[in-house]
């Protein structure tokens, strides 16, 4: 059995991270504190910490289009939005100023 304080496997570390982020998002709400944009940023930053997705913009609201995954039926020539499994809706540019 692996030590919870220092999970060595990537999968186990990911599970512990999701549990921690869930606690950090639910417990304050149960205590009557609101979730804010800043708090969502903190939570997202926690999720990507020490992963390939971590970057200088971790925890920030994105101002670019984001695509998630590739569809199983995509062609090798399909790029970006056309090959994506999911495309989150974006914020309008005027709300980012």
Q: What is the mean pLDDT of residues 13-34?
A: 90
**Numbers of helices and strands, H then E, in the chain:** 2, 2
Q: What is the mean pLDDT of residues 18-41?
A: 91
Tell me: do 56 and 83 sit in the same domain.
no
Q: Residue 4 has what pLDDT?
A: 53
Domain encompassing residue 80: 62-97
Listed in sequence order, the DSSP H helices in 1-97 are 10-30, 37-48
Query: pTM to 2 decimals?
Result: 0.59
Measured distance CA(21)–CA(32) in Å, rounded: 17
Tell me: do 56 and 67 sit in the same domain.
no
Tell me: do 97 and 67 sit in the same domain.
yes
Tell me: do 22 and 56 sit in the same domain.
yes
* Total domains in the fold of the chain: 2
Tell me: do 46 and 79 sit in the same domain.
no
Asked if 44 and 58 touch (Cβ cutoff 8 Å), the reply is yes
The pLDDT tens digits for 36-69 are 999 999 999 998 888 888 888 888 887 777 777 7
């Amino acid at each position: 059995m692996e030590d919870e304080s220092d999970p060595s496997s990537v999968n186990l570390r990911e599970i512990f991270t999701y549990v921690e982020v869930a606690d950090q998002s639910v417990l304050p709400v149960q205590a009557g504190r609101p979730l804010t944009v800043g708090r969502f940023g903190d939570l997202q930053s926690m999720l990507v910490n020490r992963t390939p997705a971590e970057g200088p913009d971790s925890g920030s609201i994105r101002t670019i289009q984001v695509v998630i995954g590739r569809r199983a039926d995509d062609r090798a020539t399909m790029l970006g939005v056309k090959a994506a499994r999911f495309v989150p809706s974006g914020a309008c540019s005027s709300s980012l100023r």
